[in-house]
Amino acid sequence: MKKNTNSKKQEVSMDEYLAAKAELDAVREEYGVKPKEGKISRTISNFFDKRDARQLQKVNKKKYLLLAVFTGWLGGHRFYAKQWVVAILYLVLFWSGFSLAMTVIDLLAVIPKEADEDGNIYV
């Protein structure tokens, strides 16, 4: 059997592509077919779903900043904010400089936040 080597590429505009994709999605929904998701994609989706569902913790800004400055390399401010997994990660990796660098980033994220009348912020 001979392959056709003279086949031309058919160009499709973005509008045509989006219309075809919308039609495919509608047919999938009509018949209850869910597209497969790979393991990596599923893991990334789960991470962002958990992050979006996480509730922010109310902490005192002064205490948080003091803990970050003096015990940030051990994750003290993360323990105070009840972010246990990240706090333990800081504690385990304190020798590598990772937690110190992340503490600086935490400080840069928290310092500009406006505290409420009681001096609390959400992290």
DSSP for the chain reads ----TTPPPPP--HHHHHHHHHHHHHHHHHHTPPPP--HHHHHHHHHHHHHHHPPPPEEEHHHHHHHHHHHGGGTHHHHHTT-HHHHHHHHHTGGGTHHHHHHHHHHHHHTTSPP-TTSEEE-
User: Which pLDDT value is given to residue 4?
Assistant: 57
Inform me whether the pLDDT recorded for 3 exceeds 60.
no
Q: What is the mean pLDDT of residues 75-85?
A: 94
